Chains A and B, each alone.
Chain A
Amino acid sequence: MFKILHKDAAAPQVTSLIIEAPYIASHHQAGNFVVLRIHEKGERIPLTIADSDSDKGTITLLFQKIGKTTEELAMLKAGDEIRDIAGPLGHASPIKKYGRCVLVGGGIGSATLFPILKALKREPNKVIVILGARAKELLVWPDKFSEYADETLLTTDDGSSGRKGFVTETLKEVIEESKVDIVIAVGPVRMMQAVSEMTKPYRVKTIVSLNPVMVEGTGMCGACRVTVSNKTRFACIEGPEFDGHEVDFHELVNRLGFYRAEEAEALAKFKSKCKGKCKK
């Protein structure tokens, strides 16, 4: 059992949970994720570790309500417990001294970038952060990012915060302004694809963190397989970060949609059962 110590909002539509998990906290490196299961009948879902504190023995998980499990997770309060959390899983991000780095975050995906930002700054690197979202309510931790980043640029699709438009437009300007040594992009698949396509002609190394369907998360089931450089790779143990210029995004989008009907069914059943107010 893993105890929730603190709950708040990282953005109006994004929940942040600080959870007691000392062994995961002390082994966490930027880029890692956990797989959690809320209760006996729950599914196992992967969530990025957005932050950790090895002294306090805590990890921070950020998520947006997008399905039954995240709806249910958002109903938990400080003091409640999560039945299973395994991690830290996945490879750590390739942190070293690059020079001028750009981190591009889309919506909830930005959470993954926060530990990467902190680690890159320690090397040190110059780091420009571009955070994008549909609207202001989904922009994750803009203040926390600007605390560490050399520059933080915000974009929203509707113009409710920062610049109106897509992250790719801002990224393009940053690249054209002066040489960029690496781009790390995390967000919706379409956004990571757009970023990778945008940077390719500029030959800027681009890392993306993939979010395929996972079951167990330790390399045993192969649910999370993706095609990178025409080879099948398991995102859970060989990723989740891959070279964005080599990822078969079309296949990833297709595979991510495989359980859409079941996801909708589970969510509808959950919402009708609790009418928005049940505890568990």
Chain B
Amino acid sequence: MRARDPQKRSRDFKEVALGLTKAQAVKEAKRCLQCKKPRCVEGCPVEIEIPRFIAAIKDNDFSGGLAVIREYNMLPAICGRVCPQENQCQGGCILGKKSKPIAIGALERFVADYETATEQSESPVCIDGNGHKVAIVGSGPAGLTAAADLARLGYDITIFEALHEPGGVLTYGIPEFRLPKKIIHREIERIKNLGVKILLNWVIGRTQTVDELFQEGFKAIFIGVGAGSPKYMNIPGENLNNVYFASEFLTRVNLMKANQFPAYDTPVKKSKRVAVIGGGNVAMDSARTAMRLGAEKVYIVYRRTEDEMPCRLEEVEHAKEEAIELLLLVNPKEIIGDERGYVKAIRCDKMVLCETDESGRRKPNCSGEEFTIEVDQVIMAIGQTSNPVLVKSVKGLDLWGAGYITTDCDGRTNIPGIFAGGDISTGAATIISAMGAGKRAARAIDAYIKETASLTSQF
């Protein structure tokens, strides 16, 4: 996909990837073999009929193509931008064996953006309501998907969001240059047009409890609160000034618009030499954000090699183009502060890859060699874990691991009427897998409510 010039883009927050032109999209669509047993569909967590939407593009029927996607996925402009297609739909594409797979993500983005560029805002959709209320906790990808699917089935949906903006990680986590906020707003407006209500500043577990929601007449509750709590390394110096968890750094910029301080009230420290610890998308987003805030040098410090990096291929490519340096096989062991309590360097171990671990990746071990990098800011992006606020407020809910909700494949928890999906049940994963979970839970919720309704009507 076309992208903006790295030198220019790395100093502003405008979108990096430019998307396909009409001609490019049609040409790309024509390459599709329209397989009888499409492996791309198998790779898609929300089971979009990919060959069908590509066929429509080939015929210049862009809105038809989009309609196919929307049968399965209400967030095409978002997924087209942030899905790890290389591991999913495109990973399965038969053309990829000999040459390049079809750019399915780019095509998805194209049809969604084409509509935005050509069409006026959509008016509310009229759906016959069935009168049953369902509560969705969290307005991230899992919650939005469950909400949209249930609303289309006629349920009366209210989403409860703790922050002052909807979107969850899409809003506070993913930077503007990768996923512009106006795209999120548009997709959310479309979901609201299905009759979905969103209550902001509403912290379930605090502002209201799950029990109270049941008392208010909600027949089922879907918990999609994500895994928003930052992990830390437990090394000395993590609480020095100018050590950020990626979630704080990105929240300040993405949600609070700290890059526009003082026009916006929230500040963020702009630093010269920045080390970002981690190799996932959040690490790439943090590093590229630090660059855009004016850093002279940004390092990504990762303890394995580029092959093991969990981020999307495109993200690390873009980061490298933007002059971000990867320090591979390097693991920080201490953050060193100056006499004022501010970061001045990180001390690191050189690593070597050894035997394969439980994640299927080769495990890094210390080589015995160490070195120090001088930096004035450190951003920890080593992962997120479960946030206990809601989870602990629900008595008797079965949990696993670090406080994730135990569910079956369709999101049923051990408590009838309570469903969960996305990162809060699987641990940190991808946007599209959270959407898949929201979708399966919506089906399970529909079945559950129909079943309980028919039981009660028998008596």
The interface of chain A, by Cβ under 8 A from chain B, is 23-24, 27, 37, 41-44, 68-69, 83-89, 215-216, 218-223, 225-227, 232, 234, 237, 251, 254-255, 257-259, 262-263, 265-266, 269
Contacts and interface: CB of A to CB of B under 8 A. Distances in A.
Interface of A is mostly: mixed
Interface stretch (B35-43, B122-130, B225-233): B225-233
B263 A86 contact: no
A221 B230 contact: yes
Contacts of B60: none
Nearest to B268: A262
Nearest to A72: B265
A223 B248 CA distance: 6
Interface stretch (B97-105, B237-245, B291-299): B237-245
B206 A84 contact: no
Given A44-B256, A84-B164, A86-B162, A218 B203 contact: yes
Interface of B: 162-164, 172, 200-203, 206-208, 228-230, 232, 234, 238-239, 241-242, 245, 247-248, 251-252, 255-257, 261-267, 269, 340-341, 387-389
Nearest to A39: B265
Interface of B is mostly: loop
A219 B242 contact: no
A23 B207 contact: yes
B388 A44 contact: no
Given A218-B387, A223-B248, A237-B389, A251 B164 contact: no
Nearest to A84: B164
Which of the listed residues A43, A216, A237, A266 has the most CB atoms from chain B within 10 Å of its own CB? A216
B181 to A, nearest CB: 13
B238 A232 contact: yes
A248 B298 CA distance: 31
Given A24-B207, A221-B247, A43 B230 contact: no
Contacts of A220: 172, 228-230, 247, 251, 387
B207 A44 contact: no
Contact of A89 (B203, B234, B242, B264): B203
Contacts of A83: 164
Contacts of A68: 265
Given A219-B388, A220-B229, A254-B241, A42 B247 contact: no
Contact of B164 (A86, A237, A255, A258): A86
B266 A43 contact: yes
A37 B165 CA distance: 12
Contacts of B261: 262, 266
Contacts of A262: 261-262, 267
B265 A227 contact: no
Contacts of B232: 222, 232
B212 to A, nearest CB: 9
Nearest to B230: A222
Contacts of B203: 86-87, 89, 218
A221 B245 contact: yes
Contacts of B263: 41
Contact of A218 (B252, B256, B389): B389
25 contacts: A23-B208, A37-B164, A41-B264, A44-B164, A44-B266, A68-B265, A69-B265, A84-B164, A86-B164, A86-B201, A215-B248, A215-B256, A218-B162, A220-B228, A220-B229, A221-B251, A222-B248, A232-B232, A232-B234, A237-B387, A237-B389, A258-B242, A259-B269, A262-B262, A266-B262
Contacts of B228: 218-220
B341 A222 contact: no
B388 A237 contact: yes
A237 B252 CA distance: 19
A240 B54 CA distance: 54
Nearest to A227: B239
A227 B239 CA distance: 8
Contacts of A255: 239, 241
Contacts of B387: 218-220, 237
Nearest to B207: A23
Contacts of A258: 241-242, 269
The 9 closest A-B pairs by CB, nearest first: A262-B267, A221-B248, A43-B265, A220-B228, A254-B341, A222-B245, A84-B164, A86-B201, A43-B266
Contacts of B255: 216
Contacts of A89: 203, 206
Contacts of A88: 206-207
Contacts of A254: 241, 340-341
Given A43-B266, A86-B203, A223-B248, 20 more contacts: A23-B202, A44-B164, A84-B200, A86-B164, A86-B201, A87-B203, A88-B207, A89-B203, A216-B251, A218-B162, A219-B228, A219-B388, A221-B245, A221-B247, A222-B230, A225-B239, A232-B234, A262-B262, A262-B267, A266-B267
B164 A41 contact: no
Nearest to A256: B241
